[in-house]
Structure 1
């Protein structure tokens, strides 16, 4: 169905302020530009005009169309990523974080090696990825389980004094002991 040019021109003149106002109101919540919403609504309107003629309640139709386009824009915005952004960064695989973790680990193990007496063996056992119990650590070191606590306390105190100058402060939101 094709409309006479004067009818479509009149409809555009009458609806332009309403389309602009509705698009301007919905754009911030949709994460879209008001002009983009307006353009999408005009395309929708002309498609509607070609199929079924002018809407019976043009103002209601415009409000409904703007809201529908705003919903579509929100869905698209939620899925889109800037070109070249790739998938969301996995904090565990972030190269910068990995380098910092490696540097802190190296500083920790270097400090453990410089601790006095039997501390390097004790701290190495305590930092083992196997997560041994006190009984297992005491057995491996050949000391009584009762003396492990005070020795651990002395060794950790020594390590604590050595590390602040070598290891950076924890990241924002990180845990500090």
Structure 2
């Protein structure tokens, strides 16, 4: 797979993809997948919606591959497409989701280790979800990307969210501090909040 990254420019890679080269397509998805996932997850409240956004993004690339005029702009195209599809899906979900449904809890696996532990876990998750919802939209997006795609580079995060690369670390720290403070204000112990 590394043959594509070292010896093949983006234009040549996209040519190979358009010719049906499955190895080239696989490389493209593996190389840019975390960035697409991060952009999708930044705007999606649950994993299933983010997966749908990723799938639609890759399908749109396949359908529009012949229309790309600047192959080197592919990462930006993918991030923009994922962001637009996620926003479209968020708007659609608002029309169909009952008010008050805590969709953050939909991602949590059902752990059958006793009703007491489930009750405590649900209460903690509810507090975290409330504190998270109290953050700015930008903080929520950034923290989702960092949480769900921790191996994503700052360049990929910057592309996915439309942020300056140098502002990502400081912004992430401010967002985490705000989240910790919000959790501490609810009486959550420091060990659980931090």
- Provide TM-score, normalisation by structure 2: 0.35
* Bigger Rg, structure 1 or 2: 1
- Provide TM-score, normalisation by structure 1: 0.38
Greater relative contact order (Cα < 8 A, sep 6+): 2
More helix by share: 2
